[in-house]
């Protein structure tokens, strides 16, 4: 299921076990890349705890609260053919959300990952319309896993 040379690196300093397999995440990255006609050259998926996500949120976005994901894109390639970025995810928050949304932890962790990948492409979720489009894409990509 995993692409031969995946640009995805996964790190987990959250203290929680991740409820998905690395090859599932790599497969989803490949699915998004092909469907969006973009290329991820380097994606770092980093799971952290609540204090660390708050620190990142404060330091870089001037926000003082827990969030599920913060996406940073590093490249300046407007053609989206060399996307580089880091997705900081709060594992505890994602686990809580899975209960709030009555979804499996696996599904919610992978949804948040896909959400971050879509952000790296350039999608935003500031308006109801943008949020709806991102949710539609998340559902579309997650449906390939069954």
1 occurs within a structural domain: no
Q: For position 133, what pLDDT does the model report?
A: 97
Query: Quick one: which of 130, 138, 68 has its CA closest to 107?
Result: 138
- List of the chain residues with pLDDT < 50: 1-3
Q: How far apart are CA 114 and CA 108, in angstroms?
A: 10
What domain range includes position 35? Answer: 8-145
pLDDT score for 3: 43
Residue 29: inside a domain: yes
pLDDT of residue 2: 42
Integer Cα distance of 32 and 35 in angstroms: 5
**CA 1/CA 53 separation, integer angstroms:** 30
* Nearest partner of 146 among 119, 114, 106, judged by Cα: 106
Answer for the pair 42, 77: CB distance below 8 angstroms, yes or no. Answer: no
Q: What is the CATH number of the domain that holds 87?
A: 3.40.390.30
Number of domains composing the chain = 1
């Amino acid at each position: 299921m995993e692409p031969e040379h995946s640009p995805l690196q996964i790190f987990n300093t959250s203290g929680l076990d991740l409820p998905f397999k690395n090859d599932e995440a790599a497969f989803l990255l490949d699915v998004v890349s092909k469907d969006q006609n973009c290329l991820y050259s380097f994606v770092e998926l980093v799971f952290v705890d609540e204090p660390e996500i708050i620190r990142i949120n404060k330091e870089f976005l001037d926000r003082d609260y827990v969030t599920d994901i913060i996406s940073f894109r590093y490249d300046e390639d407007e053609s989206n053919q060399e996307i580089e970025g880091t997705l900081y995810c709060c594992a505890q928050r994602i686990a809580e959300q899975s209960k709030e949304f009555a979804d499996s932890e696996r599904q919610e962790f992978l949804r948040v990952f896909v959400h971050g990948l879509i952000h790296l492409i350039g999608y935003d979720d500031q308006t109801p319309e943008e949020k709806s489009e991102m949710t539609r894409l998340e559902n579309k990509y997650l449906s390939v896993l069954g």
